[in-house]
Amino acid sequence: MITRLSSSFVQTTAAAGAWAVDLFWYAGSLCLLLAQTLGEWLTRPWRRQAIMHELWKIGVQSWFIVAVSSLFIGMVLAFQSAYQMQKLGAEMYIASLVALSVVREIGPVITALIIAGRVGSAIAAEIGTMKVTEQIDALVTLAADPVHHLVVPRFIAMLVALPLLTLWADAIGIFGGFLIGTMKLGVLPSLYWKMTMLPLVLKDLSSGLLKSVIFAAIICIVSCFEGFRTEGGAEGVGRSTTVAVVTSFILIIAADCVCTALFYFVWR
């Protein structure tokens, strides 16, 4: 009996150790790709046409789904806030609650999750397809750096597009709350806008934008890394795409938790 327990403990410990090694290897690989991307970005000329093409795919083609999602989220926040605020006779504070929630958290996070699902999956699939069809090997044979050609344009475009989409989501989300507050809850439009702007400070907006920059780096680096390590044909491309989206979601939520703790409880 003791021998079996000892054997089970050894196997569990070995599995946990292997998982920890894989985790550190994955984190280190992402950091190395990020460092290489930044080095290529800062030391070599930009591929402006490729950057504009990626900006079109990431920003322009995503504005509608971001707007629709943010509009309904702003409405839901107003409804949920009203359910509690009406019990206290504090309907006028619905606007403040919606504005702070959208600008600080909902806008950056929801926009990042939408872009990770829509664009991050496409990046992983594109690079993964190039990997399994040996197009990346062809770039290396032609002395072309895959990171410079494939990652840097997407990285720059993501860093530009996601903060802009976040601002767009903030505005639409607040407008959604405005519609519910004025048309359904009977709050005067002038009072609603006054209570929206009153609690907002520059720190709220800047923290949300800084989060969006961090989320953009996470989405691009994770998606490109998963694409580069794709193997196994079409099945491998699908697997890499799934892993890229799931990993991006987890890291976005974890990074949001860390950033919120730092911005509002450490760096006051």
Tell whether 91 is covered by a domain. yes
- Number of structural domains (the chain) is 1
Question: 103 lies in a domain?
Answer: yes
In-domain check, residue 185: yes
**Do the domain assignments include residue 246?**
yes
Predicted confidence band of residue 5 (pLDDT cuts 50, 70, 90): low
Task: Kindly report each contact of residues 49-56 with a partner whose C-beta sits within 8 Å and lies 24 or more positions away, as own/partner.
Answer: 50/149, 50/153, 51/153, 51/156, 51/157, 53/153, 54/153, 54/154, 54/156, 54/157, 54/158, 55/157, 55/160, 55/161
Distance, in Å, from the CA atom of 200 to the CA atom of 102, rounded to the nearest integer, reads 11
Alpha-carbon torsion, ordered 114, 164, 63, 169, to 10 deg: 70
DSSP letter string, 61-87: GGHHHHHHHHHHHHHHHHHHHHHHHHH
pLDDT of 105 strictly over 80: yes
Of 12-21, 94-103, 125-134, 247-256, the range with the lowest mean pLDDT is 12-21
Q: Is residue 141 part of a domain?
A: yes
Which domain covers residue 59, as residue numbers? 14-266
Please report whether residue 2 resides in a domain. Answer: no
**Mean of all residue pLDDT scores within the chain:** 88
In a domain, 8, yes or no: no
The model's pTM is: 0.91
For residue 3, is it within any domain? no
